[in-house]
Amino acid sequence: MRVLTPLELAFLGDAIHTAFVRKWALENLDEPMHKLHSFCAKRCSAVWQAGVLSQLELSDEEKEIARRARNAKPKHQAKNADGADYKKATAFEAVVGFLFVSKNTARLQEVLQKSLKIEENDAI
């Protein structure tokens, strides 16, 4: 596989994180679909992901991936987040994408689990 850019890693990481959160919600919450959607949408938002990133202890390699993704120049702006949160969320997603591509399954699961367990106040 070719080397992916930081934004490509974030694109992949966004899909992985979203699928993880949705699967977890379906397996663990006995709620109507509209409540499941709200739960997932909140935890997959840029604001929430930025909060998760701030709670993670990243390795040097993960920090470099996050830095490069945060500094990348996307061609669009976030709808529901300020620029700083959007850049941090992109960095979080890039780390998730990197862990997936590098097949670091144990660390990927650790990061994904952490994305569900942060305190709500920490992500706002």
Q: Return the active site residues.
A: 14
Among 42, 62, 63, which residue's Cα sits nearest to residue 123? Answer: 42
**Rg of the chain over all Cα atoms, to the nearest angstrom:** 14
Kindly list the distances between the CA atom of residue 49 and the CA atoms of 31, 35, 54, 95, 122, in Å, as whole numbers in the listed order.
23, 19, 9, 11, 10
* Separation of CA 106 from chain center: 16
| Neighbouring C-beta atoms of residue 91, cutoff 10 Å | 28
Spell out the residues 6+ positions from residue 62 whose beta carbon is closer than 8 angstroms to its own.
Answer: 56, 95, 98, 99
